[in-house]
A and B are shown apart, each in its own frame.
Chain A
């Protein structure tokens, strides 16, 4: 009982430190992993791509639409205003709409016109944005309204709205401009103060639902044609942003942003499908030729994907195109009859012929970035990281078993075997470095001129970068016919090269550390200088020697690992570490790092044990 208590008293700081280090691993793992997770989340190339097959946006009033797959029986089908993932909401009996479906879908009867901008539908409407889909003249209208910035207190009559310009309504009561309120920019002045606690809203988009239960809808501006409600979900085709004003050639899809590599995409102008296939020139592009012949006599001529300008870059004569400057040899010369992707990732196209004003440019089949493949939250992406620079400690712990059991003990790639091999290498390095160190130290102490001559070189030897020295050594050994890939020599020599230095310095200090009185005493005994060396100087230097050898051990281990790595010695720990780093098994690399750390501690402890055996007088109670 007493013994175990005493042992605990010695070990608890070590154990406590270990626990702290392990616990510290968790915040560290997050600290290093979250930026990577964030990068993964933001990198569009790592998003899940989803292809949409959509309905043409040109839905005439009262038209019947046909889809590919039937929705679940009994489900209320609603119209999605925006492409995206619909939410399942059993409470309101609204269902998500899968990609395309085939069911007879009706467009409801036209809304009753109550005023220039006020309409009433036949059926109740949901007040939320995704719940309704209203068309006028076959075009989807966007719903949106904003609250006044001030809270009504029953007295104030002036209210401000940000980012809205439509008519105003209070609660479920639509108001009329001119009689109920006046508009002055963002400020609305009411004829009578809105009641305390009421909600003052202003239409910010195409329309707003004023009263869902009675189907009351307020438009921002008087709509054209009939206002109808789509009673079924329709996947909207993506309409290009950019005004078809008769001259504009550039259009950008807001969501259909992956046009490149999307072979199934279809782009329309009104009901006309645009031809995506580019024509090749009949002639080879050899760098000299300037005139080329294409299949058709119109279209966008592009060199390496960059559209050329007619009149400036080239001139056309029927199917023949003549360049002012011959295109470079092997350039990709194409003629796009209808359109070209100018920004494939951004979803921008350049159309050959400008659509007339009012025409709609759209795509009904396209791919877009749906969501990050790692997940929708940062923490999900953290857990989905393929490798963590700092894994959670328990992840490392979980890998220990499989990692050690991966190869049989007879296999060269077994970790235990590799560890033993490196231990052997380091021990030979210590023996070599220790022996050379002691020898040099004795020579230095006995012959001062030699010390003066050699010490600068000994110091200089340690400033030579090991990483540069190893290849030279390997070359030399290789020339002597040693197979460096399987030899322990590089390890021993490099480790020894590192170890000898602290041993020389420490042992010289030790040999010189003798009490002058102890030397006087030996003189009074008429001892020979050999006796002084053996009986006084050597024993006095022993503790110094071991201390310096311990210092050298850690460095020798590093040297051994470097030597193993550089000599491609598959048997050692160094090669294992390199291998795991290259194959990206971060947790395994961590295990190997911990093993090398423990190996270092073990070797130093071994030297300490040796010291106890060889210098028992140092043992203190």
Chain B
């Protein structure tokens, strides 16, 4: 096992996309304070696929939202592509995919994908081409003119991924994107995501509850523990690429999955 310290760079050659140092987040309720994240340190290098795994309430989503500048930390530092999260957000340095597809009901599939480009102010013809390309990439080129309610859950989530990639961010933040899907669709989507990741060379931070999913997708798995949420350990996943269906059945896959599971159990 080649577990590393959380802040130790795995591949010192690649530049750090996310650099987290001593990050804490305390939610102040009416009567009590909830420590959602305590003293987290993590460095994500370009091109990595990082999974955040852990039970509910361990601060996975909080960590992701802090990076995305959707909330502000109580203490500690974050750098996203060498800038503060706010600067990174304003420069549209990342794409965000939620657990729910969060598609806009009143927009067709293609114009949902075009929305970020619209906001960026890209001219009509170019954003249409780009959106069409992205939909082709996620295999929905035939569904451009449909409304979201006409699509299945998996298809909706693929639209959501296409939309997150719309302005070609270096970083993709995914918050349990396949959590609401059935196992079969989920595995198909995993393969799809791996393909997209390899095609585009993005850096992905992926929150999940599923150990096989984390092992199958990631280059590194960040294991987190709850109350207070903190980063317990980082597991290197040395499964070779390209990964496919057979990878799931390999011995190494099981070893890694077991290792992650044991780590989770220990720390719980």
A and B: bona fide binding partners? yes
Within 8 A of A (CB), among B78-136: 89-92, 94-96, 98, 100, 102, 104-107, 115-116, 118-120
**B157 vs chain A, min Cβ distance (A):** 13
Instruction: Tell me whether A539 and B119 are in contact (CB under 8 A).
Output: no
- Report the Cα distance A531→B100, complex, angstroms: 22
Give chain B residues whose Cβ lies under 8 Å from the Cβ of A539. Answer: 104-107
Q: With A525-B119, A526-B119, A527-B119 in contact, is A518–B104 under 8 Å at CB? A: yes
Which of B98, B105, B118 counts the most A-chain CB atoms under 10 A from its CB? B105
B115 to chain A, nearest CB (A): 7
CB neighbours of A542 from chain B (8 A):
106
The answer to whether the Cβ of A515 comes within 8 Å of any Cβ in the partner chain is yes
Interface 0/1 of A517-553, CB less than 8 Å to B: 1101111111100010001100110100000000000
> Which listed residue, A515, A523, A616, A620, touches B89 by the CB 8 Å rule?
A523
Q: Is the CB of B118 within 8 A of A535?
A: yes
**Interface: B70 (CB within 8 A):** yes
Q: Say whether B102 contacts A526, CB under 8 Å.
A: no
A615 within 8 Å of B (CB atoms): yes
Residues of chain A with a CB closer than 8 A to B147's CB = 616-617
Q: How far is the CA of A540 from the CA of B90 in the complex (A)?
A: 25
Q: For this complex, into which size category does the number of interface residues on chain A fall?
A: 20 to 34
Whether A515 lies near B102 (C-beta < 8 A) is yes
Whether A518 contacts B102 by the Cβ 8 Å rule is: yes
- List the B residue with the shortest CB-CB distance to A515: B102
- B65, B91, B102 — most chain A CB neighbours (10 Å): B102
- Within 8 Å of chain A (Cβ to Cβ): is B68? yes
C-alpha gap A521/B173 in the complex (Å): 12
Q: Are A525 and B115 in contact (CB under 8 A)?
A: yes
Indicate if B149 sits at the interface (CB-CB under 8 A): yes
Among B69, B70, B96, B106, contact of A615 (Cβ-Cβ < 8 Å): B106
Among candidates B89, B90, B100, B118, residue contacting A517 with C-beta atoms closer than 8 Å:
B100
- B90 closest partner in A (C-beta): A526
| A452–B115 alpha-carbon span in the complex (Å) | 34
User: Nearest Cβ in chain B — how far from A523, in angstroms?
Assistant: 6
Q: How far is the CA of A535 from the CA of B119 in the complex (A)?
A: 9
A522 to chain B: which residues have CB within 8 Å? 119
B104, A525: Cβ atoms closer than 8 Å: no
Judge whether B118 and A521 touch: CB under 8 Å.
Answer: no
- Closest CB-CB distance, B177 to chain A, in whole Å? 12
Closest Cβ of chain A to B81, distance in Å, is 14
Most buried by B among A525, A536, A539, A540: A525
Chain B min CB distance to A191 (Å): 105
| Cβ < 8 Å to B, chain A residues 30-73 | none
Chain A residue with Cβ nearest B115: A535
Q: Give Cα A593 to B105, complex, Å.
A: 40
Chain A residues with CB below 8 A from B104, complex form: 518, 535-536, 539
Q: A524-B70, A531-B119, A535-B115 are in contact. Are A517 and B149 (CB under 8 A)?
A: no
CB-based contact A525/B106 at 8 Å: no
User: A621 CA to B116 CA in the complex, in Å?
Assistant: 29
Contacts of A621 in B (CB 8 A): 150
Q: Enumerate chain B residues within 8 angstroms of A515, measured Cβ to Cβ.
A: 100, 102
Residue in contact with B102 in the complex, picked from A521, A535, A540, A620, CB distance below 8 Å: A521
Could you mark each residue 64-75 of chain B with 1 if its beta carbon is under 8 Å from any beta carbon of chain A, else 0? 010011100000
Whole-angstrom CA separation of A162 from B119 in the bound complex: 105
- Which of B96, B119, B120, B150 contacts A520, CB < 8 Å? B96
Report yes or no: B98 in contact with A521, Cβ–Cβ below 8 A.
Answer: yes
Can you name the residue of chain A whose Cβ is closest to the Cβ of B108? A617
Q: Are B68 and A524 in contact (CB under 8 A)?
A: yes
Chain A nearest CB: distance from B80 CB in Å? 12
Given A520-B70, A523-B89, A526-B90, is A617 in contact with B96 using a C-beta cutoff of 8 Å?
no
Instruction: Decide: B92 and A526 in contact? CB cutoff 8 A.
Output: yes
Compute how far the CA of A515 lies from the CA of B105 in the bound complex, rounded to whole angstroms.
Answer: 11
Known: A523-B70, A524-B68. A517 touches B98 (CB 8 A): yes
Max count, chain B CB within 10 A of own CB: residue among A524, A616, A617: A524
CA distance A523 to B102 in the complex (A): 13
Interface hub of B65, B70, B91 (most chain A Cβ within 10 A): B70
A141 to B119, alpha carbons, bound, how many Å?
A: 113
A533 to B116 CA separation, bound complex (whole angstroms):
15
- Rounded to whole angstroms, the CA-CA distance of A525 and B89 in the bound complex is 7
Q: Which A residues are CB-close (under 8 A) to B120?
A: 525
A539 to B120, CA, bound (A): 19
Give chain B nearest CB distance to A534 CB in angstroms. 10
User: Which chain B residue has the least Cβ–Cβ distance from A538?
Assistant: B106
Report the separation of the CA atoms of residues A520 and B92 in the bound assembly, to the nearest whole angstrom: 13
Measured between beta carbons, the chain B residues less than 8 angstroms from A518 are 102, 104
Instruction: Tell me, in angstroms, the Cα distance from A539 to B118 when the chains sit together.
Output: 16
Contact B102 A517 (CB under 8 A): yes
Expressed in whole angstroms, the minimum distance between the Cβ of A115 and any Cβ of chain B is 108
CB contacts (< 8 Å) of B92 on chain A: these are 525-526
Complex: A620 Cα to B147 Cα, angstroms: 10
Q: Which B residues are in CB contact (< 8 Å) with A521?
A: 96, 98, 102
CA distance in complex: A82, B120 (Å): 107
Which of the residues B95, B102, B105 comes within 8 Å of A617, measured between beta carbons? B105
- The smallest beta-carbon distance between B162 and chain A, in angstroms, is 14
Docked complex Cα distance between A518 and B96 (Å): 11
Q: Are the CB atoms of A617 and B106 closer together than 8 Å? A: yes
Nearest CB of B to A515, in Å: 6
The complex places the Cα of A589 from the Cα of B120 at a distance, in Å, of 61
Q: Which residues of B contact A531 (CB under 8 A)?
A: 119
CB-CB contacts of A578-621 with B at 8 A, as 1s and 0s?
Answer: 00000000000000000000000000000000000001110011
Q: Which residues of B contact A525 (CB under 8 A)?
A: 92, 115-116, 119-120
Residues of B within 8 A of A527 (CB): 119
Min CB distance A614 to B, Å, is: 10
Nearest CB in chain A to that of B68: its residue: A524
Q: Across the interface, name the chain B residue whose C-beta is closest to A524.
A: B96
Quick one: closest A residue to B99, CB to CB?
Answer: A517
Nearest residue, chain B, Cβ from A521: B102
With A and B bound together, what is the CA distance between A346 and B120 in angstroms? 98
- Complex formed: what's the CA distance from A617 to B112 in Å? 13
Q: How far is the CA of A542 from the CA of B104 in the complex (A)?
A: 13
**Residue of chain B at shortest CB distance from A526:** B90
Shortest CB distance B144–A (Å)? 15
A517 to B: closest C-beta gap in Å:
5
Least Cβ distance of B103 to chain A in Å? 9
CA distance A542 to B105 in the complex (A): 11
| Apart from A521-B102, A523-B70, A524-B95: 18 A-B pairs, beta carbons within 8 A | A515-B100, A515-B102, A517-B98, A518-B102, A520-B65, A520-B96, A522-B119, A526-B89, A526-B91, A535-B118, A539-B104, A539-B106, A539-B107, A540-B106, A542-B106, A617-B107, A620-B149, A621-B150
A-B contact pairs, 5 of them (CB 8 A): A515-B100, A517-B98, A517-B102, A524-B89, A542-B106
| A→B interface (CB under 8 Å) | 515, 517-518, 520-527, 531, 535-536, 539-540, 542, 615-617, 620-621
